[in-house]
Amino acid sequence: MIDRRKFLLSSLAASLGVTLPYNVKSSVAPGSLSAAPGSPVIISTWDHGIPANEAAYQSLLSGGSILDAVEAGVRISEADPDIGSVGYGGLPDADGNVTLDACIMDPSGDAGSVACIKEIMHPISVARKVMEKTPHVMLVGEGAQKFAEKEGFPRENLLTPRAKKAWEKEKALKNNLSPVGHDTIGLVGMDKSGDIAGACTTSGLGFKMPGRVGDSPIIGAGLYVDNEVGGAAATGWGELVMKTLGSFLVVELMRNGAGPEEACREALERIRRKVPLDSEHQVGYIALNKSGNTAGYCLREGFEYALHSNGKNHLIKAPSLL
């Protein structure tokens, strides 16, 4: 008899016109890491994921929901002035303004998002309010800022002296600034009863064109959660992720039987095949499935992700495609 997962995955691959470079016999792919059944799992991007994971874990321990936990986790990165790619301390756009993007998804599949919002320290919490208090999924720019202020979020200057200096230095070198890559935080968590939520927040590419929005606030691109299957988040050059709807693709591949590592790798294969790449381009995916298996994968060497699982919070070097 044909294995059903194998059949579904092969059918999906055929319909999408791709070949599967991996063996789909096992739901735990080689390289995917497993958690003990019934224990929380939190996975997030880069080394700033370590304190974010810890905050998420503590939130769960103190009785918070998995949604509370993922929000609490990424708020740590948003408030850290030493992270030049998220929230306060993020590099500004080409005009010197810090603009932020964020989104959140809960186990019911509900979602909220803000894009190109200024002077608000915690866009992830505004995204949650969009989800919980409006009939919409996404608010952008001035509308998002007005909504945030109405909800009691204070306006704050997010441009730190360090980020300002970096922008001024770049400006002194050339008038037309080129965007530079950066390290978004995406975090996906599962509580002990198996419910999954995710959050993603960023200041976007440094020195980006004013008005530019990346993948991070786009549901399905920077983040996707399906509580029946798992969740995924992206970091890196947002345009590549947006053109391939990367996090949704990772979750759909897992739905059809791929383990987290195979799913992340196949989503990166999609980028490699479909999108012209330059040497600046990096993308990293993290994924968590319903069984608590996790993985990360990146386009080029250099991406690390943080995993809190089985009581241990540690950094893992992701394998790379190129």
Which residues are catalytic, by number? 184
Contact track, ligand GLY, 156-185, x by CB under 6 A: ----------------------------x-
Name which of 205 and 299 has its Cβ closer to ligand GLY: 205
Q: Which element (helix H / strand E) includes 279? A: none
Q: CB of 242: closest distance to ligand GLY in angstroms? A: 8
**Does residue number 238 form part of the binding site for ligand GLY (CB under 6 A)?**
yes
One of 107, 189, 236, 246 touching ligand GLY (CB under 6 A): 236
Name which of 57 and 248 has its Cβ closer to ligand GLY: 248
Q: Which element (helix H / strand E) includes 223? A: strand 223-226
Matching residue, tokens 């190109």: 116
**Does residue number 202 form part of the binding site for ligand GLY (CB under 6 A)?**
yes
Describe the strand order of the beta sheet including 196-202 as a list of residue ranges: 138-140, 111-118, 99-105, 196-202, 185-190, 41-45, 304-309, 312-317
Q: CB of 3: closest distance to ligand GLY in angstroms? A: 36
Report which of 225, 274, 269 is spatially closest to residue 251, judged by C-alpha positions: 225
Contact track, ligand GLY, 204-223, x by CB under 6 A: xx--------xxx-------
Rounded Cα gap, residues 154 and 221, in angstroms? 29
Rounded Cα gap, residues 39 and 313, in angstroms? 13
Q: Which element (helix H / strand E) includes 123? A: helix 123-133
**Does residue number 235 form part of the binding site for ligand GLY (CB under 6 A)?**
yes
Q: CB of 202: closest distance to ligand GLY in angstroms? A: 5
Interactions with ligand GLY, residue window 124-153 (CB under 6 A): none
CB neighbours of residue 286 within 10 Å: 33
CB neighbours of residue 228 within 10 Å: 10
Which one of 62-70, 118-126, 231-239, 263-271 is the stretch in contact with ligand GLY (CB under 6 A)?
231-239
**Does residue number 189 form part of the binding site for ligand GLY (CB under 6 A)?**
no
Q: Which residues bind ligand GLY (CB under 6 A)?
A: 184, 202, 204-205, 214-216, 235-238
